[in-house]
Amino acid sequence: METRQLTPLDRLLASANNALRTVASPAGKTARANPAAHIIDADLDARQKAHAAGLMRVNHAGEVCAQALYQGHAAVARDKSIEAQMQRAADEEFDHLAWCEERIHELGEDVSKLSPLWYAGSFAIGAVSGILGDRWSLGFIAETEKQVCEHLDNHLDSLPVADAKSRAIVEQMRDEEEEHGEKAAQAGAAELPGPVRQLMQLTAKVMTKTAYYV
Ligand SMILES: [Fe+2]
Ligand SMILES: [Fe+2]
């Protein structure tokens, strides 16, 4: 089959389509089954439920950012194999997004009202770091995924022990984020300067503190 080169307009339309797909609720069909699908829900009290929902809302907001970052990078990636690698990661992140959303609804709450804001901000960061070149955009991804793994480890410590459903989703996400980071490193990621890493941590803190509640 003949493959057509994507024009900048094609890429823009694909990005807009992904943005709508990401912030729409429900997120839509996933490529893989939800790892919590066969787990029976525990009898959580109101406080445990609210805490788990808050953490899963933060994780969902993180996945909105992941969609935007990977799409932002892919939109400006120079190397076709790197673009394809980012697209594959974005597909897995989409499953994470939908699994988190499903769990939030099961816990009786809703996703962050600020999803469009998380998406827009992250897409811009993704595109800007992508414009600096693939080595830097891969460095940005490797560092993001590393920080996300640390953050998911904290959530595994903080989630109610009885909430096996949320835990199964977070555990699978954590394994896959680690793999995304390793693949970015193998593809030639540059190490980001300390101040950039700190700024990323600060930005993530604002997002996680806000999305827990809103
Ligand atoms: Fe993810
Ligand atoms: Fe990831």
pLDDT tens by residue, 23-32: 776 777 888 9
Ligand 1 centroid vs 90 CA: distance in angstroms?
A: 8
Ligand 2 centroid vs 15 CA: distance in angstroms?
A: 18
Ligand 2 centroid vs 46 CA: distance in angstroms?
A: 31
Ligand 1 centroid vs 144 CA: distance in angstroms?
A: 11
Global confidence as pTM: 0.88
Which ligand is nearest to the Cα of residue 63, counting in written order?
1
DSSP the chain: ---PPPPHHHHHHHHHHHHHHHHSSS----SS--TTTTSPPP---HHHHHHHHHHHHHHHHHHHHHHHHHHHHHHH-SSHHHHHHHHHHHHHHHHHHHHHHHHHHHTT----TTHHHHHHHHHHHHHHHHHT-HHHHHHHHHHHHHHHHHHHHHHHHHS-TT-HHHHHHHHHHHHHHHHHHHHHHHTTPPPPPHHHHHHHHHHHHHHHHHHTT-
Ligand 2 centroid vs 174 CA: distance in angstroms?
A: 8
Ligand 2 centroid vs 113 CA: distance in angstroms?
A: 22
Ligand 2 centroid vs 88 CA: distance in angstroms?
A: 10
Question: pLDDT tens across 62-117, in order?
Answer: 999 998 888 878 777 778 888 888 888 888 999 999 999 999 999 999 999 999 99
Share of the chain above pLDDT 90, in %: 55
Query: What's the whole-number mean pLDDT along residues 40-59?
Result: 96
